[in-house]
Amino acid sequence: MNEPRRLHDGFVPGRHLIDAYGDGGFRFAEMSHRGSILVLPSGVRAWDVAEARSIDRTALRPVQAESAAIELLLVGTGLDIVPLAPDLRAWLKQNGIGLDVMQTGAAARTYNILMAENRKVAAALIAVA
């Protein structure tokens, strides 16, 4: 019998679809996580961001670290679409990363579609109630 994957130090290695979102968290990789997440080519990690205005370069350093494997970053800003600061958008562009900001649910669904197409996509998803 296959043993479910475990979250180790806030990180689950590998590419995973987002199975569900809401109630303050996400389901992926046969597990659930309460809180926001970064979905990167290397795996899914807990993300200590609870609101869009907290998204800055520091919060996106893990994305920058994997920029060679990311062409597009989807940012789910919660229930409302909140634009990111122009300097942050420019910084991502300098790192070769395109950006699309949308509601968290739309970002999770779009991530799943693009990942299924084997695109170089990552997602920064703020948990919603």
Task: List the domains of the chain with CATH numbers.
Answer: 11-125 (3.40.1230.10)
Strands 121-125 and 72-76: parallel
**Contact predicate 61/48, CB 8 Å:** no
Determine the pLDDT at residue 9: 67
- Nearest-CA neighbor of 27 among 12, 40, 49, 41? 12
45-54: per-residue pLDDT in tens?
999 999 999 9
- Strand, helix or coil at 61? helix
- Which segments of the chain have a pLDDT < 70? 1-9
- The dihedral region occupied by 78, where left means phi > 0, alpha psi between -120 and 50, and beta the remainder, is left
Determine the pLDDT at residue 10: 81
